[in-house]
C-alpha cells in the first residue's frame, strides 16, 4: 500500500518542480523584457535630448557667418581671428562624435569670446545695429544651448545609471547597450557680474 501512495506523491512533486521552473523562467523572461524596454526608452530619451543640443549648435553655426561678415567690413580688424572662427565653424558641420564635437565647440566658443573682447576696442562695431542684434541672438542661443545641455546630461545620467546598475547591467551587456558620454560645452558669450557699490 505504501508504494501506491508514494507514486502520486512523486509525480505531483515532479510536476510542482516543473511548474516552479516554468514560472521562474517566465518571470525571468518578463523581467528581461521590462529591463530591455527601460533601456530602450532611456536610450531614446538620450537621442531626443541630443537633438535639442544639435538644434542649438546649428543655430549658433548659422549666426557665425553673419557675425564674421558684420565685423569683417571694419578696416584693421583682426583677419586671422575671423578666418579661424570660419574654419572652426566649417569643421563642426561634419563632426558627429561627442568628444571631438565638444572640443571643437569649445574652441569655437573661445574664439567667439576673443572676437567679442576685440570688438570692445572698436566703438563703431559696438554701435552697429546689426552686430548688436547678432550678439543678442547669440546670447539667446547660448542660453538655450545650456538648457539643452543640462537636459541631455540629465538623461545621460539616468540612462547610465540603468546601464551600469545590477541587475539591469546584465541585460544591457547582453543587448549591447553602452554608457553614453556627457556633453560639456562652454558658452561663447561671457556675462559680467553686476557691480554693486556700497
pLDDT in tens, the chain (198 residues): 455 555 566 568 788 888 999 999 999 999 999 999 999 999 999 999 999 999 998 998 888 888 888 887 775 567 777 778 877 777 655 555 567 788 888 888 888 888 888 888 888 887 888 888 888 999 899 999 999 999 999 999 999 999 999 999 999 999 999 999 999 887 777 544 434 344
Alpha-carbon distance 166 to 180, whole Å? 17
- Grid cell of 99 as nine digits: 568628444
* 98: CB partners within 8 A, 6+ apart: 181, 183
| Residue linked to cell 546601464 | 163
pLDDT score of 5: 52
Contact assessment for residue 75 and residue 151, using Cβ atoms and an 8 Å cutoff: no
**Measured CA distances, 105 to 33, 123, 125, 176 (Å):** 39, 28, 25, 29
Rg (CA), the chain: 29
Alpha-carbon distance 97 to 95, whole Å? 6
Alpha-carbon distance 108 to 188, whole Å? 8
Contact assessment for residue 81 and residue 118, using Cβ atoms and an 8 Å cutoff: yes
pLDDT score of 193: 40
pLDDT score of 77: 64
Q: Provide the CATH topology of domain 47-188.
A: de novo design (two linked rop proteins) (1.20.1440)
Alpha-carbon distance 67 to 194, whole Å? 26
pLDDT score of 147: 95
pLDDT score of 190: 55
Domain ranges of the chain: 47-188
* Global confidence as pTM: 0.77
pLDDT score of 113: 87
**Measured CA distances, 82 to 78, 121, 138, 164 (Å):** 7, 16, 16, 44
Please tell me the total number of residues recorded for the chain in this structure: 198
- Grid cell of 1 as nine digits: 500500500
pLDDT score of 80: 74
Amino acid at each position: 500500500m505504501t508504494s501506491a501512495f508514494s507514486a502520486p506523491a512523486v509525480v505531483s512533486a515532479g510536476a510542482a518542480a516543473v511548474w516552479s521552473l516554468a514560472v521562474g523562467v517566465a518571470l525571468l523572461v518578463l523581467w528581461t523584457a521590462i529591463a530591455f524596454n527601460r533601456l530602450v526608452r532611456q536610450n531614446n530619451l538620450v537621442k531626443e535630448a541630443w537633438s535639442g543640443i544639435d538644434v542649438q549648435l546649428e543655430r549658433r553655426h548659422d549666426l557665425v557667418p553673419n557675425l564674421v561678415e558684420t565685423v569683417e567690413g571694419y578696416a584693421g580688424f583682426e583677419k586671422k581671428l575671423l578666418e579661424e572662427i570660419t574654419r572652426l565653424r566649417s569643421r563642426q558641420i561634419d563632426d558627429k562624435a561627442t568628444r571631438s564635437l565638444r572640443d571643437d565647440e569649445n574652441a569655437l566658443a573661445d574664439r567667439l569670446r576673443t572676437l567679442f573682447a576685440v570688438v570692445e576696442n572698436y566703438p563703431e562695431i559696438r554701435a552697429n545695429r546689426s552686430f548688436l542684434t547678432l550678439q543678442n541672438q547669440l546670447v539667446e542661443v547660448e542660453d538655450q544651448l545650456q538648457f539643452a545641455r543640462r537636459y541631455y546630461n540629465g538623461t545621460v545620467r539616468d540612462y547610465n545609471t540603468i546601464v551600469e546598475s545590477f541587475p539591469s547591467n546584465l541585460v544591457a551587456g547582453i543587448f549591447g547597450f553602452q554608457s553614453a558620454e556627457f556633453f560639456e560645452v562652454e558658452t561663447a558669450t561671457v556675462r559680467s557680474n553686476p557691480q554693486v557699490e556700497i
